Amino acid sequence: MQVDLRIQRYDPEAGGKPHWEAYRVEADPMARVLDLLHTVKAEQDGSLTFRRSCGHAICGSDAMFINGRNRLACKIRVDQLGRKISVAPLPGLPIVKDLVVDMDGFFAKYRSVKPYLVNDTEPPARERRQSVAERARFDDTTRCILCAACTTSCPSFWSQPGYVGPAAIVQAHRFIFDSRDEGAGERLEILADADGVWRCRTIFNCVDACPRGINITRAILEVSGAIVGSSV
């Protein structure tokens, strides 16, 4: 089938502003948007710039604004979108070129919540053991691939760019509720800040945008509940 593809283009070295360009691509209905982008780059315009790595919804590098919603280009198929497809960079982040956005601020927020195991207690001889129930407590948030689809779909983030954002809170949740971790107090203090969890307005855009199906709003509510419970 023929697909009419509109791609937002922007080259800072050429000057001008972001603008739409149209391409017609022959595609199988089961092709993914990432396949279409590769076809355009290989056959029509080699200067088209976008990120991708794994190609299988694991690395999180090709989240884009596709037909009005944040999605992974390597996951969404032509048959799910129809013959007219528009692709733009993730909203709310500075554009570097074409579909590539500057993720530095996003990852700085991620690092700010200490996304690693904090435990200064001398470990047992073999391993820090955890029951099945303890592991299940944070299973949902282990599935985050840091694609930024959630944070950049959040109106609170658009209006308050200082907001730490859903992705960072999801990552904090993954460790706060890990029975082996001792850094929950520090993380809750960070997230009790004015730019922390209280900026969430439970709009649920993040849940709709997450390509991994994580219940992000529930995770945010569990973290804010922990803050209230700990009287941080």
How near is the Cβ of 185 to ligand FES at its closest, in Å? Answer: 33
Q: What's the min distance (Å) between Cβ of 64 and ligand FES?
A: 10
Phi–psi pair at 69, nearest 5 degrees: -150, 145
Q: Judged by CB, which is closer to ligand FES: 5, or 148?
A: 148
Residue numbers of the site for ligand FES (CB under 6 A)? 52-55, 57-62, 72, 74
Find the shortest distance in angstroms from Cβ 48 to ligand FES. Answer: 16
Rank residues 66 and 207 by Cβ distance to ligand FES and give the closer one: 66
Closest contact distance (angstroms) between CB of 210 and ligand FES is 13
CB of 138 to ligand FES, least distance (A): 22
Work out how close the CB of 73 gets to ligand FES at its nearest, in angstroms, rounded to a whole number: 6
Nearest to residue 212, comparing CAs of 166, 132, 150, 154?
150
Whichever of 72 and 197 has its CB closer to ligand FES, that residue is: 72
36 or 72: CB nearest ligand FES: 72
Please write down the HEC assignment for all residues of the chain.
Answer: CEEEEEEEECCCCCCCCCEEEEEEEECCCCCEHHHHHHHHHHHCCCCCCCCCCCCCCCCCCCEEEECCEEEECCCCEHHHHCCEEEEECCCCCCEEECCEECCHHHHHHHHHCCCCCCCCCCCCCCCCCCCHHHHHCCCHHHHCCCCCCCHHHCHHHHHCCCCCCHHHHHHHHHHHCCCCCCCHHHHHHHHCCCCCHHHCCCCCHHHHHCCCCCCHHHHHHHHHHHHHHHCC
Nearer to ligand FES, 72 or 176 (CB): 72
- Closest to ligand FES by CB, 52 or 69: 52
Taking the least distance from each CB to ligand FES, the nearer of 73 and 200 is 73
CA distance 45 to 214: 36
Tell the burial category of 97 from Cβ atoms under 10 Å away from its Cβ (0-12, 13-18, 19+). Answer: middle
Q: How far is the CB of 61 from ligand FES (least distance, A)?
A: 5
